[in-house]
Chain A
C-alpha cells in the first residue's frame, strides 16, 4: 500500500511558507529511487498525543508504506522523498477516532439479547464517509444495534479506503450492551410455528426482560449464568448461551450503556461481581461517581448530551428529572479516570470535534480533550496498535488543521490516510480569506479581518467569519477589493474606431483572453472600457471584468457611462455640441418625468368597467382587417423587392458590393500549425482601411490600407515580420486570393462573418420580444426609449455617469454649470486645471479622472511640482485612477502606489482605486468594496497593498481564483 495524500484543501499558507522548506536536503542515500514512496509531512505544530507530547516550531513526520517511520523536530528527510509543508500555522493531529457512530443504520433484532449480531455486517466498504472525513475523523466504532440489553458485537473500522482496503481494525471489539432507558422497550417475541396445526396452535407472544434497571441486571445475570454452562430453558433464544460463552472466554469487554448514577453503579457492581471487563457507555452522570470509577479502573466513553438538527428536548419538570450534565469529562479527568468522548447516538460521527468542545466545559485541558477523541477511544476499543496517536509503526492517519482541532474556528486543511481511498479532494467553493489587515474599500480597515466568499459573492466580512464545512481557508498579509480602472481600452485590440453611441460594447468581450487574465492577476478586476475616440453624441463606456468564462457575469454594466468631449481645438466651439446634446437630454428626461407623473396619478379602471363587449369585438375585427391589409401591403412590397432582385440577377454582371465587415479563414504557413486569420475591413467607395490578425504572419495587429476595383481587392500593411500584401477577388461572401509575406505566398479563401466593421465576436443575443400588455383605455403612454439619450437620464437619476473631457479652469466651470443645470454631476476627464478650482467643484461633480501625470509641473512657471491627485483628494472631491491603455491597465496599482509615494494619503488612494471609482461610475452595487452581497472580487497581498514592495499573492474574481 502506498501512502496517499488524498485530500488537500488548498491553503494559502502553502504558497507562503513552502518555498524555503520544500527542497529536500541532499542526502547520502545510495538509491534515491527506493525512497520514492517516502513522504515527509511538515507543519508548525504536531500533537503526538502519546504522553501528551507536542512538537512546536516545526516538525516532520516521515511516512512510508502507509506507516509512520519517523517523527520529530530534527528528522532528516531522505533524498527523493516528497516533502509537503503545511506551514507554521498548521497543526497535525492523529486521525480522530469516533467511539460511537450510527453508520450502517443499526437496528435491533427481536431478541433482547442477540450476541450473534455483528456490527461489521453493517459496514459498507463501498459507502462514502466523506462528511466525517472532512472533519478529520478517520476511524469509527460501528454499533451492532441499539435499544437492546445485549445488542451484539461492535466493530471498529476506518472510514477511508476502497472496498479492498485493510479497513477493519476489529470485527468484534466489544459486547455492546445497555442497561439504560433505551434497552427497556424490547417488545415481546413471537414466531409462528411451522406448520401451525390445530395441535400446536399459533403460540403466544413471549415477554422479554428488561422493563426496569432491576430486570436488566437480572437478565444479565441469567445470561451470564447460561454462558457459564448453567441450565438454558431457551428463554433467550437458541444458541445464545454458547455464543456468549465464546465471547466471554475471548475476554471481550462489555460496553454497557449506563447514563444515570444508579445505572452506572449497577453496571460497576455487575462487572465487579462477575469479574468481567467493563466499559461504561454514555455515563452522563459520571461526575459524582468519578472517584469510584477511577478507583475501579473502568474506562468510560462519554456521550456528549446534545441532539443537533432537532428541536430542544424536554427532560421533565419534576425534581428528580435528569437534565443533561456537561461536567463528567472534567470530573473524570480530575479523578484520573480513563475516558473517551464520543458523539451521542443522536449526533453524527462528523460532530466529534463539537462533542469534544462541548464536553470540555468547565475547563478541560485541550490536550486531554484531544486525547479523548484520539488515543483514549483507540485504547478503550482495543485498536491502539494501529491508530490513535502519531508514533513510529502506527498507521499514517493524520489530520491537518488550521489550528487546535478542539477549538471551534479551526478547519481541516488536509487528511492523510494509509491505503487507497474512495474519498477524493473536493472544494465546496466557500473561501475564507484571513488577513492581518483587511481594507474594505470605504476607507475602513479591519485588523485582523476575514472575508467569506460563496457562489461568487461576498457573504460575510468581519474580524472573524463563519467557516462552512469544506471551506478553504487562505491566509495572507492584507486584502482589498479588486481595483477599478476607471477608463481604459483593454479589449479593443488596437482599434481606433469610435462606434455608435448605442453600440453594445458587450459584444466585443471575449472570455478567457490571456492578456485580460494577466491584467486581472495584477489586481485590476474591473475595467471601464471605452473607445479611443469621441463622437458627437458620446462614446459608450462599459464596465467589465477581465477574468471569467461567462460573458454575463463578466459584464458589470453596459453601458455604465457615456464619454463626451467639452474642450475643442477651436476653443470657441468648446461645449457647443455638448450643450446641444444636453438640451435634448433634458427634454427627453422631461417627457419621461411627465409620463411617470401621469402614471402615478392615473388610477386603472376597475375590472369589468371596460367598453361594452360588442364595441370591443367590433374594434378587434377592425384591427384584424387593418392587420390583414397591412400584411397584404407587406406581401406586395416583398414581391416588388423580389422582382428587383430578379432583375439584378438577370443583369450581366452583379455590381460589386463593398467588403466592409469581418472576414475569417484559416491559413497554414509552414512550419507553423494552422492558425486563424481575421480581416476587419472598412470599405468606403473602394477605399479600404482595416486590420489583419494572424499570429503566424505577424505577432502584432497589422493595419491595412488598400483599394477595391469592382471585385478586385488589393491590401497592404506592415507586420512584425515584414510587409504583407494581399490580392484577391470577392464573390458573394467569399474573398479569395493570395497573401504575400516576403517570399512566402499563401492562398486563402476567407468567409465574411459580419458585415459590420465593428467586430462582432459573439452573435448578438436578441432579447425575447416582450408581450405587449393589452392597452387599457386612458393609461398614459410611455415615451420611446432613446438609447443615445437614456444614459443622460440615468445620470440624472444617479444610476449612470457622464464622463466629459475638459481642460482649462474656465471651461471646467462652464461645463460643470451646464451639466448641473441639466441635473447631472459629471465626471471630469483630463481636468488639468481642476486643482485650481477645487472649492468651486466640491459637491458639484461626481468625480475627477486626472491624467496619469501624477507629478505636474506648472507649464508657466516650470518649477512648481505638485501632486494633483493628493490635492484634489484632500479637497474632498472623489478621484479615480485610470490607465487610458489596454493591457497597460496592469500599471494601475503602480500609478496609485507612486501617487502615495509622492504624498497622497494611502487611504484616499485605496478609496480612489475601489469604492470612489465604483461610486462615481454607479457600479458600486456590484464592485468597489468588501461588503456582503457584492461580487467577490478580492486581491490578496503579502503586505499593505500600497506599499510598492507589496506582492499580489492571489486574486479572486466573482469568487473564482484567477490562475
Chain B
C-alpha cells in the first residue's frame, strides 16, 4: 500500500515500524492525483471540482480538466477543499531547548537543537502547517541560525527545506536587563566583528598570511577559495571596510563568520522586537550594518506604533500572536484597542501572521481574526501562506498551489477560515503524511478512551458492566448463543 500510516500513528506504534516506513515516506517518487470539490489555489481563481497532479514531489498540473496519470494513486474527495499548506514564518518550538545562555552566539545552528520526534511537529501537522521557520528563542542578543523545515522526517536533514534560513537577533530588552544594555551588547557584537576583520586584513597585508603558506605547503589552491570573496558592502550602507575584498575567506573565525555573512547580505536576519522603541533599535542596527534589505522584524507589543519607520525602511514583519493591542489611558484608565494587522495594511507593509506555536491561535485562526476585524479575506489568507513564503524567500516553492511548486496540499472539510473546518489530509511533497481518520491521538482527545484499548480487567472477579451492574459474562454467553443460532441458520 502506498498510503503511509500517518505520522501520528507511526509514533504510537513501535519504533521498528517507524524504521520500516521511513524510507518509503521520504522517497517522494510516487504520483498522486488529488480530486476535490474545491481548490483554493492562492494563485488566481479558485477551481471547482479540480484535480491536482503531483509528481516527484512537485505539482505537475492543476486544473479542472487535468487527468490523473494512469499509474497515479487518486485521492478522490469531492466533499473536501484543497488548500496550500500553511507556512509558519517564525517559530521557536520543536527544539530541545529554545535558548542558549551565551548572549552572542551567531555560530550556533538550530540543526543541533531541532528534535524531529517532538510532539510539536505532530501538532503542527494536525493544524495543516507544512512549512516552518524554526528560529532560536528570544532570550539572547544574537542567537543561532534558523532553519526552514517541514514537519515530517526522522532526521533534521530529512525535514530540512532550507538550512541556515536566517540569524536570530533580539532588539528588545531581555528580562532583568535594560534596553541600553541590550543595545550596547548588539552594537558591541558588530563593533567587535569590525575590529576583528580589520585586524585580519591588516595582518594579511603585513604578510602574516600563514594560511596561504600553509595551503601552498599542503599543495592546496587558495585561489579558488579567494574567488569566493563576498561582494563589497553595497550602496549607502555605512558599514564600509576599505579592503572588504581582501578578507581571507579561509581564515575567518567560525564564530564570526555568520555575522560576516549577515553583513555581506548572504544571510537573513529575524529581529525580535517587543516594542516600538525596540524597532528603532533594530532598524538602527540593520541599517548601520548594511543588512536592512535582508531583515524581517518579528514584532510584538506596541511595535506597531513604529509602523511609519518600518514602512520607510521597507522591511517585512511577522506579527506576534496578539493581534489586538490593548492599552490604557494613564489618566482615565480607559482602554484603547488597536488592531495591529490593520495598521500594517494601512501603511502597505508586507506582513505575515504567526501562531507562536499556540494551538489555540493557529494560523487559520489568526487569519480568521483578521477577516473579523475587516481585513480582506485574500490578504488574510495570504498572510498565512503566500506572504509568509515570500518573506522566507520560498515564494517559488511553497505558499500557493501552482504547477512547479512543492506538492504541499492540505485537504480541509470546509472553508479554511471556518471554525468547524478540520484538516482531513495533509500531503507534503507528494506524500500523504496525515490522515485524520487515522489520527489516534486526536480521536483519543475528541472521543475519549476507546473501550478496545482499555486494559483488560484482571481482578480475578467476574467482570461487571459499570453501567448496568450486571455481570458481563451473561452478555458474552448471549452473544455466543446468538452466534450459535446464526451458525445453525447457515
Listed in ascending order, the chain A residues whose CB lies under 8 Å from chain B are 104-107, 109, 114, 116-128, 130-131, 134, 144-145, 152, 163-164, 192, 194, 238-239, 426, 428, 470
Contact = CB atoms under 8 A, between A and B. Distances in A.
Given A116-B188, A124-B275, A126-B275, 16 more contacts: A104-B179, A106-B178, A107-B177, A107-B178, A109-B184, A116-B184, A116-B187, A117-B184, A119-B180, A120-B180, A121-B179, A126-B276, A126-B302, A126-B306, A127-B277, A426-B332
Contacts of A123: 277
B184 A104 contact: no
B178 A130 contact: no
Interface string B191-203: 1100000000000
A124 B305 CA distance: 12
Interface string B96-121: 00000110010100000000000000
A282 B180 CA distance: 23
A24 to B, nearest CB: 34
Contacts of B281: 121
Contacts of B345: none
A123 B187 CA distance: 17
Give the secondary structure class of B's interface: helix
A122 B102 contact: no
B331 A428 contact: yes
Contacts of A107: 176-178, 181
Given A107-B176, A121-B281, A192-B102, A126 B181 contact: no
B330 A130 contact: yes
A131 B277 contact: no
B330 A128 contact: yes
B183 interface: yes
Contacts of A105: 178-179
B180 A121 contact: yes
B438 interface: no
B213 interface: no
A586 to B, nearest CB: 53
Interface in B161-207: 176-184, 187-188, 191-192
Contacts of A164: 308
Nearest to A124: B277
B276 A122 contact: no
B99 to A, nearest CB: 14
A152 B305 CA distance: 28
Contact of A125 (B188, B255, B277): B277
A123 B107 CA distance: 31
A194 B180 contact: no
Which 10 pairs from chain A and chain B are nearest by CB? A121-B183, A121-B180, A126-B276, A107-B178, A124-B277, A122-B180, A426-B331, A126-B305, A116-B184, A117-B180
Contacts of B308: 164
Contact of B180 (A131, A152, A426, A428): A152
A109 B306 contact: no
B470 to A, nearest CB: 33
Contact of B102 (A163, A194, A470): A194
Nearest to B330: A130
B402 to A, nearest CB: 41
Interface residues of B, number: 32
Contact of A144 (B105, B180, B255, B309): B180
Contacts of B176: 107
A118 B277 contact: no
A530 to B, nearest CB: 40
Interface string B139-167: 00000000000000000000000000000
Contact of A194 (B178, B183, B255, B309): B255
A192 to B, nearest CB: 6
B180 A145 contact: yes
B305 A192 contact: no
B420 to A, nearest CB: 37
Nearest to A428: B331
Nearest to B103: A191
A223 B5 CA distance: 68
Nearest to B195: A239
Nearest to B107: A194
Interface in B323-344: 329-332
A107 B173 CA distance: 11
A123 B176 CA distance: 17
Nearest to B255: A194
A117 B330 contact: no
Contacts of B183: 118, 121
A522 B184 CA distance: 65
A117 B275 CA distance: 20
A109 B181 contact: yes
12 contacts: A104-B180, A117-B184, A121-B178, A123-B277, A124-B179, A124-B276, A126-B276, A128-B330, A131-B330, A194-B107, A426-B331, A428-B332
Contacts of B182: 121
A126 B277 contact: yes
B305 A163 contact: yes
Nearest to A426: B331
B25 to A, nearest CB: 36
Nearest to A238: B192
Contacts of A121: 178-180, 182-184, 281
B390 to A, nearest CB: 29
A114 B184 contact: yes
A16 to B, nearest CB: 27
A109 B182 CA distance: 9
A153 to B, nearest CB: 9
A168 to B, nearest CB: 12
Nearest to A192: B102
Interface in B275-334: 275-277, 280-281, 302, 305-306, 308-309, 329-332
Nearest to B191: A239
Contact of B181 (A117, A127, A194): A117
Contacts of A152: 180
Contacts of B306: 126, 163
B331 A470 contact: yes
B105 A194 contact: yes
Nearest to A164: B308
A350 to B, nearest CB: 11
Interface string B266-279: 00000000011100
Given A109-B184, A194-B102, A145 B178 contact: yes
A131 B329 CA distance: 11
Contacts of B191: 239
A131 B107 CA distance: 45
Nearest to B181: A109
Contacts of B102: 192, 194
A46 to B, nearest CB: 28
A470 B333 CA distance: 14
Contacts of B179: 104-105, 121-122, 124
B327 to A, nearest CB: 9
A120 B277 CA distance: 11
A118 B180 contact: yes
Contacts of A126: 275-277, 302, 305-306
A118 B184 contact: yes
Contacts of A119: 180
A923 to B, nearest CB: 32
A104 B105 contact: no
Contacts of B309: 163
Contacts of A116: 184, 187-188
A11 B105 CA distance: 59
A124 B182 CA distance: 14
Contacts of A428: 331-332
A760 to B, nearest CB: 35
A426 B330 CA distance: 10
Contacts of A127: 277
B313 to A, nearest CB: 14
A145 B181 CA distance: 9
B306 to A, nearest CB: 7
Contacts of B178: 104-107, 121-122, 145
Nearest to B101: A192
A266 B182 CA distance: 33
